[in-house]
Amino acid sequence: MKIVVLDGFAANPGDLSWAPLEALGACTIYDRTLPSEVVDRARGAEVVLTNKTLIQAAEMDQLPEMKYIGVLATGFNVVDIHAARERGIVVTNIPAYSTHSVAQLVFAHLLNIAQQVEHHNEEVHKGRWSSCPDFCFWDMPLLELYGKKIGIIGLGQTGYATARIAIGFGMEVHAYTSKSHFQLPPEIHKIELDEMFRTCDIISLHCPLTDNTRHIVNAARLQMMKPTAILINTARGPLVDEQALADALNQGTLLAAGLDVLSQEPPKADNPLLKARNCYLTPHIAWGSTAARERLMQILCENVKAYLEGKPIHVVNG
């Protein structure tokens, strides 16, 4: 059986082993694949694995041997799952592998903004502490998270992990979720979306990207937020109207934003958030810890093995 990995570099840039996957079949691994190369590279393969390389109906029609598409991520919008279902192609994803790493980055951004860690580190290295007449200095407000209201949009595994950390900090946790009040622990309060934007000090996004959630953070909702509020996005870039967010930050109607994802990745040089005031950006690294990628590789092999045994797991187009 032929297995092809179209874009393996991001998940495994060389610090992990492909051996468990290679033991399952004749395996060809590409670091990256251009859209024009997908058909030629996947030709003859029964199992095709992709991270961010698109596989749409047009490619499926030219790859009759392809019976299984494994997405090396939780989100699976890179595959036309409806076209795959119509053609009898099994599509799987990798759920929950990066839950703790993503929740950790939420608070890396939040703590950096609250304590201005990056800024004060830079000032120390410029010599400002050495020349300070006092034993300490700070030149920006320092925020305490205890007692602050955090609103979490989407209470899946990552949203829930973020909520647990927030509870540990003594924060008041509110969630916009399809879960009922009875399904939530007493420390998490269900809230409507607009009320969340009006009342919460921090909003953290953890929902999938759908037609209903695209630009869930838009100009109207940003205007509802406190001028002292903070927005965190470690989910999907298009959840946020980036121009509206840049305007809110530059106009001072929002204190700060910490983002690990953008609408286009890598971003274009003219993305308004690259120059926006108090906008802290990381290059889609929340999922990239060694521990998370080790889990990804393990689940990837479990998915392929289950498919080969005729009992596929983590199917998203069943």
Query: What's the CA gap between 284 and 293, in Å, rounded?
Result: 14
Query: Order of strands across the sheet with 188-190?
Result: 188-190, 172-176, 149-153, 202-205, 230-233, 256-259, 279-281
Residues 174, 206, 236, 295: which is the catalytic one?
Answer: 236
From 118, 144, 195, 265, active-site residue = 265
Q: How far apart are CA 313 and CA 102, in angstroms?
A: 23
CA atoms of 108 and 118, how far apart (whole Å): 11
Supply the DSSP symbol for 315: B
Contact 49, 73 (CB under 8 A): no
- Between CA 203 and CA 296 the distance in angstroms is 28
What DSSP designation does 192 have?
-
Residue pair 7/50 in contact (Cβ under 8 Å)? The answer is yes
Structure tokens that stand for 38 in this block: 């997908």
Task: Please indicate whether residue 284 is annotated as part of the active site.
Answer: yes
Could you confirm whether 236 is annotated as catalytic?
Answer: yes
Distance separating alpha carbons of residues 318 and 307, to the nearest angstrom? 13
The structure tokens 């029609």 sit at 61
Catalytic residue among 43, 85, 284, 302: 284
* φ, ψ for residue 29, nearest 5 deg: -120, 125
Task: Tell me whether residue 100 is one of the annotated catalytic residues.
Answer: no
Please state, in angstroms and rounded to a whole number, the distance separating the CA atoms of residues 151 and 147: 13
Active site residues: 236, 265, 284
